[in-house]
A = this chain, B = another copy of it.
Amino acid sequence: MERPSRPGPSERAVPGHDAPWLDADEQRAWRAYLRMQGRLAATLNRQLQIESGLSLADYEVLVHLTDTPEARLRPYELQWALQWEQSRLSHHLTRMRRRGLVEREECSDDGRGAFVVLTEKGRQAITAAAPGHVGVVRRFFFDGLSREEVALLERLATRILGRLDDADGEPGDDAG
């Protein structure tokens, strides 16, 4: 979705600030990525919603809770695991609490904090949702990829995540 490509060669070796536009290859890749990501997320959300009444966000929260021995976590732990904004998590937990998927429990060690506890209803919800959801993930995503491609994809995602993490502390965030 970038602007006109530079007519230039396919060699892009320009470090950072210098190259304003994406070349033709990059543009195609970027557009394909954006479209794929948007459609995939929409598909996963819709399927989860229809079959289980959960959103993808709900699902991820519940997954992390069920991954935990006591099925309870401090919000800041969930925040770290999900890489969400704090207020997003807070709002979302409020809504999930309202629907009975999780409960809030006071934290004796730290008066400021709390625990998010999985309810029985929450456990049943994700138990019922998981097979269908994983089926769709597999159908649209993994069934189209070889194991090598899956491995490469993980490496790329991790690398880009690292770049995003690196930028978090730095002051010179300018790009223009």
Chain A positions within 8 Å of B, measured between CB atoms, are 1-3, 5, 10-12, 15-22, 25-26, 28-30, 32-43, 47, 50-52, 59-60, 63-64, 66, 83-85, 128, 130-145, 147, 149-154, 156-164, 167, 174-176
Contact = CB atoms under 8 A, between A and B. Distances in A.
Given A2-B63, A130-B3, A36 B138 contact: no
B139 A11 contact: yes
A48 to B, nearest CB: 10
A123 to B, nearest CB: 12
Given A39-B83, A40-B160, A135-B175, 11 more contacts: A3-B66, A10-B139, A12-B143, A17-B135, A19-B138, A29-B153, A35-B83, A35-B157, A51-B176, A132-B175, A145-B160
A176 B132 contact: yes
A94 to B, nearest CB: 20
Contacts of A52: 1-2
Contact of A140 (B2, B26, B132, B160): B160
B38 A83 contact: yes
A75 to B, nearest CB: 18
A167 B40 CA distance: 12
A9 to B, nearest CB: 10
A50 B173 CA distance: 12
Contacts of A1: 50-52, 59-60, 63-64
A175 B142 contact: no
Contacts of A133: 175
